[in-house]
Structure 1
Amino acid sequence: MNGLDEIKETWHINNQINLYLLNGIEQAHMNDTASSKGRTVGDQFGHINNVRLMWLKESEPELMDTVIRLEKGTTDKKIIIEAFKKSAHAMAKMIEKGFQTNRIKGFKPHPTAFLGYIIAHEAHHRGQIILSLKQSDHMPDKKRLFGLWEWGSRASEMEKE
């Protein structure tokens, strides 16, 4: 595996971590929030997806016809999963092109920093989702929480797709 393949795999593992968390949340808890003014769990996932779309629109707008924008209030896990798979695939193409050209349009300083930025952004919102569930007394089980750190396991899941 070359460096670019490892970079794309890292991106896809991050997406698998998001889906692993989502799959561990009961549909009934998708409206949980950490506070009365906070985003719901569903809206947190929607935000993650839609920030991906924001970057795609800025950097590679031709990929926008392959993705799904999640509207506020979307809680259907099947729709969110479909949107995440499509946006992750489009982002992988954008990241690949960014590493080939050494540029992500609209982002500085370089594609490696962008990858770090976007993964950190998504990890932050995973934390927000877990906080919302915890404060609503719907905390995911410990096995699932520890599984969020098992990136090697998520890589092997990718091979099954």
Structure 2
Amino acid sequence: MNAEQVVLESFSRNARVNRSLLGALTSEHLNLRDPAGGWTIGQHLCDMIDFRRGWMETIAPEQTEKVTYLHTMLDERTFGPRTQNLQEIQQILDQADQVAVEAVQEKLSADAGFQKVYESHPLMFLQHALVHDAHHRGQILMVLRMNGVPWTESDGPMWAPWRE
């Protein structure tokens, strides 16, 4: 694989890790939060998805409408997922990933970077998403543990894509 293929494959594996995490969650988990007052799991998922939509507005505005925001405002300062249906959340994330990859591949084909951000190489957007997702997955796992949810992921399906 060349470097571009490695990043695209890493992003694909990242999507499978996200799918595995979502597949292990229940709708009840979405309302769990860090006892110290941090975000709920649902809010972390909102940020993972809405990150893609937000950056699409800058890097590929013509693609923006293809990506749905997950969040809804619950009051002036609080947001949460507009659905508790994990399958719907997964579909929104899958669509966001697909549109992100399409936007990157379009720039790769044109041998161009994005304008305003990720100008050095379009794959930097996917790299940013990988790091961003890993941060939120770690936060989600921490919230689960802090709320007493047993999680034995050390040898679970979230690791499977990285063993290939």
TM-score w.r.t. structure 1 length? 0.81
Q: Quick one: distance in 1 between partners of 2:85 and 2:146?
A: 21
* Paired AA for residue 147 in structure 1: P
Greater RCO (CA < 8 Å, at least 6 residues apart): 1
Q: Quick one: distance in 1 between partners of 2:97 and 2:141?
A: 21
Q: How does 1:34-113 map to 2 (within 5 A)?
A: 34-71=34-71, 72-74=79-81, 75-100=84-109, 101-108=111-118, 109-113=120-124
Deviations 1:66-95 (A, max 9, x none): 221112322321221111011010011122
Deviations 1:30-67 (A, max 9, x none): 11111353111111011000000011111111112222
Cα RMSD (Å) of the superposition? 2.3
Q: Give how far 1:152 is off.
A: 4.8
Greater shift, 70-79 or 23-32, is seen at 70-79
Q: How does 1:146-161 map to 2 (within 5 A)?
A: 146-152=156-162
State the partner residue of 2:18. Answer: 18
Q: Quick one: distance in 2 between partners of 1:98 and 1:36?
A: 43
- Rg: which structure is higher? 2
After the TM superposition, which parts of structure 1 deviate over 6 Å for at least 4 consecutive aligned residues?
Answer: none
* Paired AA for residue 22 in structure 2: L
Greater shift, 109-118 or 22-31, is seen at 109-118
State the partner residue of 1:158. Answer: none
Equivalent pairs: percent with the same residue? 22
| Higher helix fraction (1 or 2) | 1
TM-score w.r.t. structure 2 length? 0.80
Query: Which ranges in structure 1 are unaligned for 5 or more consecutive residues?
Result: 156-161
